[in-house]
Amino acid sequence: MTADPTADPAPGNAAPGALTHFDAAGQAVMVDVTTKPETTRTATARARITMQPATLALIRAGTAAKGDVLGTARLAGIMAAKRTAELIPLCHPLPLTQVTIDLTPNPAAGAVEIAATVRTAGRTGVEMEALTAASIAALTIYDMCKAVDRGMRIEDLRVTHKAGGKTGEFNQP
């Protein structure tokens, strides 16, 4: 038996803890957000890419062979946030109003700390856009520096802040 394709998964009516991207028959569905109110929504995701001290020194000095690593990673993260719905199958395409990518070299940790913050006024959150932006910024750093340091590690990708919508505010370090 096939689930009714016109059935509304009724956002907000799922049992607490229920997964919203599945219908009653267990098939993956895009959540219908038609009736949700538009609110300002913000999310920040963080990641870290660790590397050898010499690699971080190249990045900080701006002398990596492929050019401005941090500037390129910033642009890649912004572009990725804007294309999240093309990459994650059940994400809604969203009109993003702001994307910021902060890339902070941390010599003590031998890393670049990445924070991606995304904003919109809409019916669904921007956590996936922030996560995509942070991960693509990290991957861009890896790509631009892999010739000198194949042992770099992308670590600790997570949402650290979310605001807006029915569930309100969420914070974690």
**Catalytic positions, written as ranges:** 143
CA distance 99 to 44: 10
The answer to whether the beta carbons of residues 59 and 112 sit under 8 Å apart is yes
Amino acid at 1: M
| Rg of the chain (C-alpha set) | 19
Which residues, in sequence order, are CB contacts of 13 under 8 Å at separation 6+?
A: none
Is 65 exposed, middle or buried (CB count within 10 Å of its CB: 0-12, 13-18, 19+)? Answer: exposed
Which residues, in sequence order, are CB contacts of 93 under 8 Å at separation 6+?
A: 85
CA distance 151 to 49: 10
